[in-house]
Structure 1
């Protein structure tokens, strides 16, 4: 004689029978939600890319006009303040275009290079933006003769972002040190300052704001635009390295721009 089916057992059987349908419906709903989220994310990314591309185009015109004025004012426009600012704006325009491009289209132009000229170019660029402010740049002599395989312009931009941050968070006349640190797997360019020690918010630095809008502790004497540490880090990562920042209020900050040890080349 078959066993008697109780109300509870019949209910459990109904749940078991219906479970695949319920799970399928839930999974289908989650899949549709994920697809909508992906579509929204892609739309936002496309909108930001278009905005960056338009900003890059708008910035390029005035930059070229400044370069023409600098050329009229000096034989070598890259060596005067107006020419340096024009070069910086042109580089910023290129960086915006780089950020607006598809990741698959972003390429590095790598070649053997000395670190000395790259560091000097980054320091000169930031020093021009600081005027009339002043920082004392202390460069480790061991850095200058070092040869690495990298994209010199990308490395200069990443280093300039770290120097600019150090300048923004320090005072007029302070020392900003750039030194070498060798590890077993990495080589690091370390930027140290004795500034306010504020953290890098979301790994992004903003354009220097007017003194009355600036948080307490942000130093005066810093000018110029910056696309921030986000781009600098992406350039370091593209080389197989990274950027890391440590800061302590009242003590200062230390930033590491690391590269794989394999990128170091033997001296000629």
Structure 2
């Protein structure tokens, strides 16, 4: 039968343990902080890579837009009148580039106010029509949209709507119908823009919008999507070759004001 031997640590052992335990705790905390700093640095590096990729994509889209406008100006070179439509399109592109540059400088600052959608739509159509001249489209607007009130940045919302309408115009023909209507959900609502054009887009808005057949046009729609996201909303486009396209400008229900006259 083995005898049990009791171990009684001496004073030196207790002193060593008293020093060792805090040291191990400090080393563990240091390792944990280093690991957290490493993960944070990796996340920031991935975020910067994504931002650089987005800016590069915007530059490519801008180059495509400028190429198309350059060809349009060459085609109008023989006309005696100044190509006002192309000039306005270039001004819109310059505004888009300013929006992209402003977004790179920091989060977009909105100046919210009550916005009457009817006047917003009229202004956006006038902007698109100038760039289109002398072409014409038929606009079919649901009556409740003409009574809709929004809470948001008027300039940003007008810019986003104008880009969506520009996309519809570019993919339709003379006299085609472009329809706008209001779609409601429990927590959100959407301004739906439908056309029966080619159902094609010239470029992707990015991975998030490329899913499910969603296509974009170029820099203008990329900026429009950023403007919608600044309002806690989203822009998605469903396009099908030979059928047409639907653009969903979705906003949270909190940004819908009571309809006038209701």
> What TM-score, normalized to structure 1?
0.59
Partner of 1:227: 219
Displacement of 1:169 in angstroms is: 1.0
Q: Supply the distance in 1 between the matched residues of 2:180 and 2:174 (Cα, whole angstroms).
A: 17
Displacement of 1:203 in angstroms is: 2.1
Partner of 1:24: none
Partner of 1:96: 97
Q: Please, what is the CA RMSD of the aligned residues?
A: 3.7
Partner of 1:171: 173
Of residues 239, 242, 259 in structure 2, which corresponds to 1:247?
239
**Structure 2 CA distance for partners of 1:249 and 1:94, relative to 1, 3 Å:** closer
Q: Which runs of 5+ in 2 are unaligned?
A: 1-34, 64-82, 207-216
Displacement of 1:38 in angstroms is: 6.2
Displacement of 1:103 in angstroms is: 4.9
Displacement of 1:124 in angstroms is: 0.9
Displacement of 1:93 in angstroms is: 3.2
Partner of 1:237: 229
Q: Supply the distance in 1 between the matched residues of 2:47 and 2:128 (Cα, whole angstroms).
A: 40
Residues 10-58 of structure 1: CA deviation (Å, up to 9, x unaligned): xxxxxxxxxxxxxxxxx9xx99x969x769849957996xx8xxx9xxx
Displacement of 1:134 in angstroms is: 1.5
Q: Supply the distance in 2 between the matched residues of 1:244 and 1:110 (Cα, whole angstroms).
A: 23
Displacement of 1:149 in angstroms is: 0.4
Q: Does 1:202 align with 2:204?
A: yes
**Structure 2 CA distance for partners of 1:106 and 1:43, relative to 1, 3 Å:** closer
Partner of 1:137: 139
Taking the TM superposition and a 5 Å limit, the aligned residue runs for 1:1-268 are 41=49, 82=84, 90=91, 92-101=93-102, 102-199=104-201, 201-203=203-205, 227-266=219-258, 267=260
Query: Greater shift after overlay, 143-152 or 103-112?
Result: 103-112
Q: How many residues align?
A: 190
Displacement of 1:236 in angstroms is: 0.4
Residues 232-255 of structure 1: CA deviation (Å, up to 9, x unaligned): 001001101101111222111111
| Alpha-carbon contact 2:96-2:220 (below 8 Å) kept | no
**Structure 2 CA distance for partners of 1:165 and 1:184, relative to 1, 3 Å:** same
